[in-house]
Structure formats: structure tokens, C-alpha cells
Structure 1
Amino acid sequence: MSARPLALTLGDPAGVGPEIIVKAWRALSQDGPPFLVVGDAQALTSAPAAAGVPIRTVGRAEQALSLFRQALPVLDLPLTTDVVAGQPSGAHAPQIIRWIETAVGLALVGAVGGVVTAPIAKAPLYEAGFKFPGHTEFLAELTAPANQPGARGPIMMLTARDLRVALVTIHEPLARVPGLITIERVVNAGLVTAQALRRDFGIARPRLAVAGLNPHAGESGGLGREEIETIEPAVRALRDLGVDAQGPYPADSLFHQDARARYDAVLCQYHDQALIPVKMLDFWGGVNVTLGLPVVRTSPDHGTGFDIAGRGHARPDSLIAAIRLADSIAAHRLAA
């Protein structure tokens, strides 16, 4: 367990964030990693599962360490308009952005061991002028001055049980993916992933399996040439750089139980190639990890859940897993 608390941003207050946060505190308050919430204390108090949960405001992150076992600590940065569960509002966008900025700032100065982000909705933020595709890109911008020369992040990784997948391309239309897969991009993703497996997961000699793009990994060029012209040269380059990378392999045979024992992570070429096996393996417990940043960042692998917000039905499994993983990564970095 890290010696510092984690900072957990509230996410969109009209979504399931407040509910799953109070449920996560219930599950972790006695023996889990301590965290403080960066957000609106009233939104937490009003959450469906908040009855009986003592919520206390703090002025400094370090107070969370002594308080966490007795109450849910909150760095209270209040909203300026009311929240209606299930109804996102652009009026909340400035505060949502401020919560993320504050949590990242605490991590950059070492006041917290890492950042866990509850889900946000993009559309209300875009209405307020938010210019980033999502959390990952915004975090990269916020941490850019702290990145060391040659930093290669961010790279998205998803984890579920014994499976880790990293993505070469993320939220791209499928028709654009082949043109975006370059030798440089595959090599970069492989290097960042291998470094994170060593630094953040404590794997001394990480093994990467690289997925092909086409069915049967191109069938020696008969079903596509991306493997021959791009992915195979990238795998060779990774090996030349000291990374134990193998492939490209057909994606349809990479994710079963016996295959997972032969690697530490899979480098996937596009979104659904990575996300489908993760969610099939553990739909409720998947975690999103951002690799290649100077701060630790994880998040639950699901969205805001506006359709169930305020009803008390949201499951905190993925958030709990994200909190535990962020603490584990922070501890590995502290020990390095």
C-alpha cells in the first residue's frame, strides 16, 4: 500500500460517480487504500447509497490518511448549479474540469500517490469549450511540463483479471485504423507498455504479444499486407531495442486461458480488438490505466451510466479495482 492517499475525482455529478464512490468507500474503508474525493461534497451526500456514510471535508490531502477509516474525506470544490441525476448539464463542466486539474496538481507535487477518475461525459464538456477527446488526452496536456524529455505517452491499457491489453490506436473509426498503424506508432506503444510493465507492475522481463490487424494476421499477405509491411518490422525493431515482443499473432487466438499464460500484455491495433476480450473476461471489474504519464492514473472501465443514475443500482466493482490498482502502481513507483 502506498504511503500517500489517492485523489479520486467525482466525474460527472449527474452520473453514477457519486453512488459508486460512496459504495467503494464502504467496501474499502477498513482495509483498502485510503483516498480523498475531489469534488462536490453535497453531490456525495445526496447519492442513493450515502445513507449512513460519514462524509467529512478536508483542507489538505494528507488529512485523508488519518480520517479515511472513520469517514469519506472530500476536498470540497462545490458546484454552482443543482444536480439532477441522469441529466448531464454543461453548467457543471467548469467544476468537473477543475476537479481533474486539482487532482492532477496534487499528484504532480507528491501530495497524493495517484489519480483515479470517475466517468465523465464528453458532450457537456464540449459545450463548455473542452477541446480534448477525453480524460487521457487532457491528462497528457496537464502533465506535459512534468514529462521528461523523450516521454512517449499516453498509451491506454485495459486490465481484467490476468489480462492486460495496450492500444496502438484508440477511439478511431475502423476505416481509418489501417492508415494510422505505422512502424513508429507500434514501436512507441510497445516501448511505453514494456516500460510500464517494469515500473508500474513490477515485471522484470515483460513479454509482449503483438496482435495482427487482419484476419489470420494477414495470412502471409493473402488477407492484407499491414502485418508484412508494418507490424512485423515494428516487432523486429522492438526486439532490437531490447523488448521481448513476439508476433504479429491472429487476434482470434490470443485471449483464451492458455494463451494468456504466454505473455504479460497484448499490444492491440484498435479499440474493439482490445476491449471485447477485456469485457468478456470481466465485464464488471475491468480497469483503464494510462501509461507513460509522470502521475499514476486509473479509472473504471465504464461510462457515466446516466440511464441508471440516482436509482441505487450502480455496481462499484470496476471503481474498486481501479483504486486498488492505482495504489499498487503508486507503491511500485515509490519503491523503485
Structure 2
Amino acid sequence: MDAAARLSVAPMMDWTDRHCRAFHRTLSRRTLLYTEMVTAAALVRGGARHLIAFGEAEQPVALQLGGADPGELAQAARMAEQEGYREVNLNVGCPSDRVQSGCFGAVLMERPALVAECVAAMRAATTLPVTVKCRIGVDAQEPADILPDFLCQIRAAGVRRVTIHARKAWLQGLSPKENRDVPPLDYPLVHAMKRAFPDLHVSINGGIDSLDATLAQLAPGDDGVSLDGAMIGRAAYQRPADILLRADSRVFGADDPLDAPEDAVEAMRPYIAAELGAGQRLHAITRHMLGLFSGRPGARGWRRVLSEGATRPGAGLEVLDAALAEVMAAGAAREAAE
């Protein structure tokens, strides 16, 4: 899993569900994919095990958990292993009000000893790698002072891989949306943490929106030290072909599974047909594919046809074909004009 974590797609609520992951996996065989955050309480007390169902074709895939109760997190981690996940990740970065009220997510940056207790309990319950995704700090904390102590405590609890979102989270005064953009990025601090903790696998997250930017983050510095991985969020979702279509060759040195975005449409057809046959609605799948042709002629028509047609009762593969026809026609028109 350390190798797969060289590039990963961030866990994103309402976005990285199993249909999104199935789509992303057609574009990249190597990139590490994450679930949406699932609370340990929902699994342990709510009996919502269906929330962590996934297909083996999505591998490598990791389950991200939210919570602050060591016992519940241990039980949830055990469930993750039973379901077949390759990794279980603890969320110490989400700044939403709902997460704060449950005393987990980014607010846990203020309670490193509790985080260490949680990950130790998780590690005792499973043979899976237990990893952490965190911020560099919250509110009035000084990241350069508190982040080394945080990493030291979770390392002592057995964590060997951490993803650091290179922004503070402002729990007071900023919305979750604003927390994704407003706090300034501090990439040098994350690189400094890798130098200070060379035995940790350190991935960086926040503001990385291209493969060029990914490779720049992974390049060795003047001292020869390099980060181990990069995690991309919204760019991978909104422009999936730009990020994932060449990820296997450029980031992992492997063959890319597809040549063009059009190939991804064809690759998804069997999956979509099977899901429709199982009673799934087309929109639940194709909503994750709206950005596939971003920046290409016909992208607007692709989005329009899918957005309007996929929500209609009984919508099937004919909607996908009609949307793809918009792209093909726009491409042909441009070639003719040239």
C-alpha cells in the first residue's frame, strides 16, 4: 500500500462513493482510492455496515473512519479487514460542524494523546495498516510547534504513514468549504516534517491540481529528501482524465490502462449495465463522470445530456451514448474547421 500511496485520491464526502471509485479505477490501476469518511459509530452502533460495501475491482482502496472512541474505532477497523480493505485511515482533518460536535475530525489536532490511543486500539484490532490524515493545526495553534509533537505521538502508537493537508483548519469563523481554500498552504512545513521523521511515509495534500504539481512535490529537495506521496482531491474529481488518465505512467512508471477519455466511457458500460440491472439509477453513477471531458470540445454537451437525461426514470445506456455523441460531434466539427 505504501507504493500505491505515491498518488491517492482524497476521501470526499458525497463524492468518493463506490460508483466514483469504480469510474476512477478505469482511469488508473495504481492510484490509491479512499472511501468517503464513515463514522465508527454508524458501523458499530448504527449497524450501517452497508456503507462500507465495495467491489474487489476497486482495489487498492482504503476505508476512512471518523471517530474518537478507541473501542468503537477498533471494532470498525476489524470490520474493514473483514470486508477486504487494504488500509484503514483515521480522519483528523475534517472541519465540519457535525464532526466537531462529535469531537472528531480536525478538532482532534488539539488532542494528540487521544489520537494516539485511538490508532493504538485500531492497530491492536487489525493487521491492516492504520494511517492518519490530518491538518497542520487548528485555530490559534502554531503548526511548527504542535505538528512535530502530534506526529511523534502517533508514530509512537505505531502509525507509519500519514497524509498531511498543508493548511490549518479554522474551526471558528470559516465554513468547511472556506477551510478548503482560505487558510494559506504551508508546503515547506510538510517537507520539513519528512526531514524530521524520515521513517514515516509522508504524503502531502492541499492545492495539488495536476500531475506536474504532483511530481514537483515528490521530487527530492536540495538535501535529497523527498516526500513519499501526494493526495489530490477536487481536481481528481472535477477533471478526472487530466489527473488519472496518465497517472500510472507518469507517477508509477507503469502502463496506462486507457488511451483516451472515450475509452473510459466504453470501459464503464458493463459496470453501468450491471448496476442498472440491480436497480441502481443511472444518475447515481454518471454524476461522477461529468468532468471526464473537461477542457475538450463537446464537454458542455456531455454534461448537459448526462445531467438532464440520467435523472429521468428508466434512463439507460442510451443516455450515455447520446452524451458521447455530443463529444464526438464537437470534435469532428473542430477538425473540419481546422
Normalised to the residue count of structure 1, the TM-score between the two structures is 0.29
| Bigger relative contact order (CA 8 A; separation at least 6) | 1
Give the structure with the larger helix fraction. Answer: 2
Normalised to the residue count of structure 2, the TM-score between the two structures is 0.29
